[in-house]
C-alpha cells in the first residue's frame, strides 16, 4: 500500500511525520499542520513509545514488534521502521530484492536488500483502525489557499493584466481568420485579390499587429507592476510573521533552512505574476480555440482533441512523480543551503581546526543529493515535456493532412483548411504553455509546503493584550518546570526563586544543569511548562510587550552583532542614539578607548556576526548596550566569559551602582562571590542556595566547585 509522503520541517520530526503517514492511510481528512500543533516535537524527537502513544491517541490499534534479521517481509505494510538507530521511516514494500521506503527527510526511495538489512534496526510499528476509529471532521485546507491574500492584494493590476491578455488573445484568434481570407483570395478564379480587397487585408493585418504589440507592451508593464506590488506584500508579511513567532521556533531550525524558506518567497512572487496569469490565459484561449475549431469542422476538431487528450493523459500519468520529485529536490536544496550557511558562520572555527576538508565533503554529499533529486525531477519533466512537444510539433501536420483528405467531402476550401491548421497550431502551443505552468505548479507546491511551516505556526501570544507599563524588578518563581515538548525530559524541575529589587543573584552549576534555560525563561523567551513566574507580582502577559522588554536586558554567551557601525550596535534596540549617551555607556563598559583607537572610531563598520573584532570587544559592546538601556532587570548569561578579571570586576561595579535586579550566570565563581544569594543547579533542580560564605561553610557542591577552581588558579603554569 502506498502512502502520501510527509516531509519533516525539523530534524527531530521524523517520528511525527511517520505517524502522520500511517494515519493518513486511514484518514482522508488528515491535516499535518493541525497534527504538528497538537503533537509538538521538541529538540529530542520521539521514541518508539511516544509513536505508539500518538497512534493510539488517534484511535488506531498499534503493535510494536521486534523483528528478527530477514523477517521484515512478514510485517504488514505500511509500517514504521526504526532506521539506523537514530531515525524513523515508513516501509511501503519489502521483497527479496529490496524495499521501498518513504523517508521524511528524502521522500520515496527504492533500496536494495543489503542496504535495508544494514539500516533496519529491527523495531517495527504497525497500525490499523481500532473499533470506533473516525476520520477527522474538518478537511485539510489546500496549500494553494496561502496564495489568496497575495492575489487579492494585487487584484487591480492582475485584473488589468487579464484584460490586456484577452486583447492579445483576440489578435491570436484573428490570425486564422486572416489566413483563410488571404488563401481563399489568392486561390479564387483570378488567382489573386483585387486592389480593394488586398488593401483591406493589409489594413486588417496592420491593425491586428498593432493591437497585439500594444497588448504585449501592456502585459510587460502590468506584470512588472504586479510583481512589485505582490513582492512587497508577500516578502513583508512572511518576514513579519516569522519574527513574531515564539523563540522556540528558531531554536529548533537551522539558519540556512530558514533563509532558504525566505528566499522561496521571490520564486512564489514570480510565479504568481508571470506563470499563473499566463497559464490561466492559456487555459482560456485553449477553450476558445477548441470552440472555434469545433464550429469550423467537428471532424478535424476530433483529430486535434484526440492528440490533445494523448498529451493530457501523459501529463496526468506523470504528475504524481513530478510532484514528489519536486518536493524531494526542495528538501535537499534546503539542507544544502544549511551546510553553506553553517560553514560561513563558523569560518573562524573551521580555519583554526583545519576542518575545511570536512565541510567540503559535507557540501559535496549534500550537492550530490541535490543533483540526484534534480536528475529525477528533470527526467520526468523532460520525458513528459518531450511527449507534449511532439504533439505540438506533429499535431498541426496531422491536422493539415486530415484536412486536405477530408476537405472535399466536407465542403471546406483550402483557406478554411489552412485557417484550421493555424488555429490548431495555436491550440497545441497553448497546451504546451499550460503544461509548463502545471509543472511549475508542482514546484510551487513544494515551496508552499516549506513556507507553510512559517505561516502555520501561531505567533507568540505571550503578551496578548497586556497594558501594564512599569515593573520594579522583583521576580518570583514558584514550582517552575520546563520541557521542550511533551516527549522531552524536563530541563527544569520545580524551581523556586525570589529576587528583590536591587539584589544581585548568582546561578551556578555544571554544563547541562539548566542555567541558560532558566535565564531564557526569566528573559521572556520561553514560557514554563508548569508553575508560574511573576514580575512585580504580575504575570508577564499583563505587561505591554515593548514596556517589558524596555525593562529587561539579556546579555548571553552567544554574542551576535549586526552588520552596522559600532555606534548603531551599542544603541540598537535601546531607543537612545544620541552620541553622548552611547559614548558614556561605552566608557562604563570599558571599551571607549579601544573604539577611539580604531580609524573610524564609533563609525567603524562591524562585519556580519562581529567576526572582525575580538570576543571580549563583542561582549563589551553588548554590555554597553545593556548599560545604555537602563533596565530594571539585567540577566547576564556568561556575559563576561571572554573578559579579563580586571575588566570583569570594573564592569560589574557599573551594574552594582544601580537599583536594578541582576541575575548573573557564570562559570567563574569570582564573578558571583558578592551576590546577595547564589543558587546552585544540578539536573534542572536547585540543590543549594545561600550567600558565598554560607555555601562555603555548608561544604556542599558549591564548596567543592570553589575548591577546584581555587586549585586551578594556584596551579603553577610550568617549570624551568
Query: pLDDT for 280-319, tens place per residue?
Result: 777 888 888 888 888 878 888 888 888 888 888 888 888 7
- Distance of alpha carbon 642 from alpha carbon 618, whole angstroms: 9
In the chain, residues under CATH classification 1.20.1560.10 are 143-455
* Residues 468 and 544 sit within 8 Å (Cβ to Cβ): yes
With cell 581546526, the residue in question is: 353
Q: How far apart are CA 577 and CA 571, in angstroms?
A: 5
Residue 406: count other Cβ atoms within 10 Å of its Cβ. Answer: 15
Name the pTM for this structure.
0.79
Asked whether the beta carbons of 639 and 623 are under 8 A apart, the reply is yes
Q: CA–CA separation, 662 vs 243, rounded Å?
A: 28
Residues of the chain with pLDDT under 70: 180, 184-202, 204-205, 208, 273, 348, 352, 407-411, 576, 609-611, 657-658, 712-720
Question: What is the spatial distance between Cα 463 and Cα 547, in angstroms, rounded to a whole number?
Answer: 11
Cell numbers 537514530 correspond to 86
* CATH match of 143-455 with 3.50.50.60: no
Integer-rounded Cα Rg, in Å, for the chain is: 34
* Per-residue pLDDT, 507: 94
What CATH architecture applies to the domain 11-129? Alpha-Beta Complex (3.90)
Residue 613 — φ and ψ, nearest 5°? -125, 165
* Cα(649)–Cα(630) distance, integer angstroms: 19
CATH 3.90.70.10, the chain: domain bounds:
11-129
Q: How many CB atoms lie within 10 A of CB 445?
A: 16
What CA–CA distances, in Å, run from 621 to 556, 605, 663? 12, 13, 19
Between CA 534 and CA 70 the distance in angstroms is: 58
CA dihedral 461, 465, 470, 473 (to 10 degrees): -30
pLDDT at position 103 is 92
Would you state the pLDDT for residue 195? 52
Q: How far is CA 507 from CA 627, 644, 694, in A?
A: 21, 20, 15
Residue 300 near residue 399, CB atoms below 8 Å: yes
User: What's the grid cell of residue 274?
Assistant: 508571470
SS3 of residue 716 by DSSP: coil
| pLDDT for res 717 | 46
Which grid cell is 217? 507592451
Amino acid at each position: 500500500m502506498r502512502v502520501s509522503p510527509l516531509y519533516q520541517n525539523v530534524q527531530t520530526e521524523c517520528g511525527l511525520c511517520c505517524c502522520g503517514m500511517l494515519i493518513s492511510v486511514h484518514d482522508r481528512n488528515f491535516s499535518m499542520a493541525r497534527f504538528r500543533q497538537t503533537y509538538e516535537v521538541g529538540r529530542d524527537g520521539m521514541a518508539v513509545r511516544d509513536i505508539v502513544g500518538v497512534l493510539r491517541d488517534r484511535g488506531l490499534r498499534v503493535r510494536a514488534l521486534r523483528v528478527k534479521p530477514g523477517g521484515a517481509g512478514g510485517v504488514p505494510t505500511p509500517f514504521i521502521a526504526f532506521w539506523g538507530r537514530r531515525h524513523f521511516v515508513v516501509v511501503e514494500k519489502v521483497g527479496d530484492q529490496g524495499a521501498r521506503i518513504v523517508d521524511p527527510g528524502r521522500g520515496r526511495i527504492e533500496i536494495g536488500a543489503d542496504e535495508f538489512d544494514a539500516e533496519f534496526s529491527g523495531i517495527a510499528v504497525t497500525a490499523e483502525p481500532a473499533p470506533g476509529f473516525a476520520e477527522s471532521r474538518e478537511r485539510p485546507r489546500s496549500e494553494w489557499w496561502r496564495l489568496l491574500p497575495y492575489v487579492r492584494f494585487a487584484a487591480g493590476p492582475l485584473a488589468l493584466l487579464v484584460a490586456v491578455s484577452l486583447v492579445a488573445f483576440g489578435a491570436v484568434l484573428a490570425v486564422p481568420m486572416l489566413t483563410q481570407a488571404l488563401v481563399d483570395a489568392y486561390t479564387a478564379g483570378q488567382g489573386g485579390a483585387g486592389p480593394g480587397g488586398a488593401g483591406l487585408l493589409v489594413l486588417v493585418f496592420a491593425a491586428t499587429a498593432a493591437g497585439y504589440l500594444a497588448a504585449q507592451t501592456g502585459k510587460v508593464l502590468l506584470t512588472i507592476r504586479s510583481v512589485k506590488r505582490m513582492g512587497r506584500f508577500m516578502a513583508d508579511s512572511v518576514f513579519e510573521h516569522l519574527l513574531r513567532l515564539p523563540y522556540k521556533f528558531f531554536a529548533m531550525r537551522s539558519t540556512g533552512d530558514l533563509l532558504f524558506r525566505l528566499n522561496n518567497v521571490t520564486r512564489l512572487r514570480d510565479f504568481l505574476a508571470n506563470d499563473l496569469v499566463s497559464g490561466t490565459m492559456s487555459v482560456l484561449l485553449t477553450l476558445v480555440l477548441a470552440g472555434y475549431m469545433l464550429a469550423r469542422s467537428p471532424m478535424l476538431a476530433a483529430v486535434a482533441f484526440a492528440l490533445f487528450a494523448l498529451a493530457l493523459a501523459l501529463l496526468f500519468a506523470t504528475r504524481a512523480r513530478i510532484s514528489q520529485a519536486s518536493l524531494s529536490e526542495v528538501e535537499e536544496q534546503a539542507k544544502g543551503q544549511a551546510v553553506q550557511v553553517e560553514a560561513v558562520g563558523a569560518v573562524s572555527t573551521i580555519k583554526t581546526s583545519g576542518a575545511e576538508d570536512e565541510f567540503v565533503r559535507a557540501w559535496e554529499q549534500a550537492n550530490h543529493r541535490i543533483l540526484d533529486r534534480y536528475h529525477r525531477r528533470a527526467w520526468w519533466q523532460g520525458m513528459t515535456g518531450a511527449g507534449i512537444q511532439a504533439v505540438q510539433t506533429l499535431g498541426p501536420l496531422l491536422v493539415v493532412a486530415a484536412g486536405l483528405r477530408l476537405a472535399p467531402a466536407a465542403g471546406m476550401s483550402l483557406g478554411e483548411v489552412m485557417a484550421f491548421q493555424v488555429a490548431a497550431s495555436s491550440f497545441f502551443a497553448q497546451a504546451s504553455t499550460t503544461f509548463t505552468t502545471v509543472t511549475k505548479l508542482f514546484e510551487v507546491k513544494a515551496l508552499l509546503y516549506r513556507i507553510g511551516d512559517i505561516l502555520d505556526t501561531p505567533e507568540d501570544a505571550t503578551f496578548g493584550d497586556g497594558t501594564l507599563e512599569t515593573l520594579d524588578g522583583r521576580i518570583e518563581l514558584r514550582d517552575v518546570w520546563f520541557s521542550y515538548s511533551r516527549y522531552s525530559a524536563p530541563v527544569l524541575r520545580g524551581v523556586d526563586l525570589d529576587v528583590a529589587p536591587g539584589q544581585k543573584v548568582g546561578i551556578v552549576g555544571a554544563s547541562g544543569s539548566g542555567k541558560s534555560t532558566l535565564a531564557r525563561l526569566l528573559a521572556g523567551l520561553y514560557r514554563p511548562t508548569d508553575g508560574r513566574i511573576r514580575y512585580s507580582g504580575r504575570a508577564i502577559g499583563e505587561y505591554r510587550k515593548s514596556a517589558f522588554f524596555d525593562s529587561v536586558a539579556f546579555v548571553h554567551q552567544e554574542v551576535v552583532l549586526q552588520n552596522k557601525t559600532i555606534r548603531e550596535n551599542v544603541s540598537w534596540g535601546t531607543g537612545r542614539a544620541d552620541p553622548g549617551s552611547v559614548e558614556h555607556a561605552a566608557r562604563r563598559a570599558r571599551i571607549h578607548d579601544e573604539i577611539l583607537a580604531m580609524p573610524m572610531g564609533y563609525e567603524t563598520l562591524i562585519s556580519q556576526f562581529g567576526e572582525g573584532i575580538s570576543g571580549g570587544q563583542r561582549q563589551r559592546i553588548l554590555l554597553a548596550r545593556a548599560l545604555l538601556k537602563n533596565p530594571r532587570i539585567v540577566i547576564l548569561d556568561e556575559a563576561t566569559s571572554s573578559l579579563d578579571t580586571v575588566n570583569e570586576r570594573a564592569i560589574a561595579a557599573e551594574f552594582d551602582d544601580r537599583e536594578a535586579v541582576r541575575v548573573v550566570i557564570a562559570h567563574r565563581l569570582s564573578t558571583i562571590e558578592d551576590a546577595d544569594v547564589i543558587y546552585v543547579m544540578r539536573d534542572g533542580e536547585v540543590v543549594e542556595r545561600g550567600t558565598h560564605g554560607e555555601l562555603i561553610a555548608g561544604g556542599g557542591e558549591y564548596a567543592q566547585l570553589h575548591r577546584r577552581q581555587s586549585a586551578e588558579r594556584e596551579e603553577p603554569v610550568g617549570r624551568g
